[in-house]
A and B are shown apart, each in its own frame.
Chain A
Amino acid sequence: NAGVMQNPRHLVRRRGQEARLRCSPMKGHSHVYWYRQLPEEGLKFMVYLQKENIIDESGMPKERFSAEFPKEGPSILRIQQVVRGDSAAYFCASSGRGTGVQETQYFGPGTRLLVL
């Protein structure tokens, strides 16, 4: 599968637990973006990462949320002490280096997080 992979596809957590969402970018891609989609809304940007670097985290909530993209392995979006308002679909997208068509972002299938 050469596409963007996300797991798990569905995640259920109780309030106060931690949620870890994983994203493996498309082969050859080194840029990863995380977006959140609340019910009946469009996607909102959260964070943009390159390998071992956070490039733009202007959309990340200040508390409880963190993201990383290590040198080896997938990108991780971590939500600590989840609350019901965190219930949403979380999408990861990846793009390649350079300009032009390489910048097109391709999306994974998303992780649906439900907080009980």
Chain B
Amino acid sequence: AQTVTQSQPEMSVQEAETVTLSCTYDTSESDYYLFWYKQPPSRQMILVIRQEAYKQQNATENRFSVNFQKAAKSFSLKISDSQLGDAAMYFCAFMRANSKLTFGKGITLSVRP
């Protein structure tokens, strides 16, 4: 069974600064996907970024980028130039091909103006 661990329950960042959210996972699979989802107060689950395990290049989406370390089973999310709208719960998730998502417990990110 796969597990996803987000050990930091909450973090805070100053507006315009950079913050990194940590995530580790455990699996025996070699082909899989990793995701970060954002859940703002509206509770809608919004896809932030996606990484295929077979790709060595780290995914980037505008101000969001990941540091994917496959051997270490680590998948951290970096948010650059933090904005007030980034304040939310962030979930790391693992998925085998055509299968369910396994989520971490999430981290609450607050952004200080």
Contacts and interface: CB of A to CB of B under 8 A. Distances in A.
Given A42-B103, A105-B95, 8 more contacts: A37-B43, A44-B103, A48-B99, A48-B100, A91-B45, A93-B45, A104-B50, A106-B47
A56 B100 contact: yes
Contacts of A101: 50
Interface string A34-72: 010100011111001000000010010000000000000
Interface of B: 33, 35, 37, 42-47, 50, 52, 91, 95, 97-106
Secondary structure dominating the interface of A:
strand
Given A100-B52, A103-B33, A45 B47 contact: no
Contact of A103 (B37, B44, B97, B103): B97
Interface in A19-44: 31, 33, 35, 37, 41-44
B44 A45 contact: no
26 contacts: A31-B98, A35-B101, A41-B105, A42-B91, A42-B104, A42-B105, A43-B103, A44-B103, A45-B100, A45-B102, A48-B99, A48-B100, A59-B100, A100-B52, A101-B50, A103-B97, A103-B98, A104-B35, A104-B47, A104-B50, A105-B101, A107-B37, A107-B45, A107-B46, A110-B44, A112-B43
Most buried by A among B43, B45, B97: B45
A99 B99 CA distance: 11
Interface of A: 31, 33, 35, 37, 41-45, 48, 56, 59, 89, 91, 93, 99-101, 103-107, 109-110, 112
